[in-house]
Amino acid sequence: MKNIIVESIEKPQYFGRDLEAMSFATNYHNWIADEFKPYLGNNVAEIGAGTGNFSKLLIESTKKIVAFEPSENMFPQLQEQLREYKSITKINNYFVDEYLKYKEHFDSVVYVNVLEHIEGDEKELSCAYSGLKKGGHILIFAPALSYLYSDFDRKVGHYRRYHKKDLIMIVKRAGFKIVDVRYLDFIGILPWYVALVLLAKTLSAEKVSLYDTLVIPIVRKIESIITFPIGKNILLIAQK
């Protein structure tokens, strides 16, 4: 792994009604949490914890979480949502500005719909590598396929959507060994492309909830049997 030079970044403010819609994707979040569960360990870093919805799922399968959320306006919501969770430490900063305090500290570092928001994703992964104990895991879930990049992606601050080979390349470059990588939600490609790319629509809580309730349980069942060569999202697990 290369030496890491990190410049401090100004903390963002995002109000994120579009992002808030994703909080209604309960089945989707449960699916991701179940995929990550065997690799979490007892001490987890969650990067970009948002308002804490996924943190609540993670803490069911681990002992301690350090939740990093740099947004000045979202962090108070995170604190309020997780007020009763004494085993979750909340930090209002970027992980790249804090990682030196946590060298070889974590059993896993989790990015759920976060890495695509980080312009310097390779630098971020190098910091994650530094923060992990030997044998620890990085757990990534992100939007996939560049041709699905839409105005919605741009509005919510996505720098990119990942193809498998590109994500594998930067993860390996940071020093990790790939454990598992695959696309998820094959069925979601067409509705996303039509609604968000061609028609330039946005996501609403109602649309997300409907898809999550009616489609995701079926998709999850199918993809537990069949691995498709493409999908709307990508999941990667790698080890230090």
Which CATH number characterizes residue 167's domain? 3.40.50.150
In a domain, 185, yes or no: yes
Computed over every residue of the chain, the mean pLDDT equals 92
203 confidence band (pLDDT: 50, 70, 90): confident
Quickly count: other Cβ atoms within 10 Å of residue 72's Cβ. Answer: 13
Averaged over 26-44, what is the pLDDT? 97
Task: Assess if residue 7 is contained within a domain.
Answer: no
* Phi, psi angles (nearest 5°) of residue 188: -75, -10
Percent of the chain surpassing pLDDT 70: 90
How far apart, in Å, are the Cα atoms of 144 and each of 1, 120, 148, 166, 233? Answer: 26, 17, 8, 10, 4
State residue 202's pLDDT score.
82
Q: Please give the pLDDT value at position 207.
A: 86
Residue 38 lies in a domain: yes
Q: Is the pLDDT of residue 10 over 70?
A: no
How many domains does the structure of the chain reveal? 1
Please check whether residue 110 lies inside any domain of the structure.
Answer: yes
pTM over 0.95: no
Query: What tens digit of pLDDT does each residue of 91-141 get?
Result: 999 999 999 999 999 999 999 999 999 999 999 999 999 999 999 999 999
Tell whether 5 is covered by a domain: no
The domain in which residue 56 lies consists of 17-239
161: pLDDT strictly greater than 70: yes
- Give residue 94's Cα distance to chain centre: 14
Indicate whether 219 belongs to any domain: yes
Structural domain contains residue 3: no
190: helix, strand or coil: helix
Mean pLDDT computed over 224-236: 97
In a domain, 8, yes or no: no
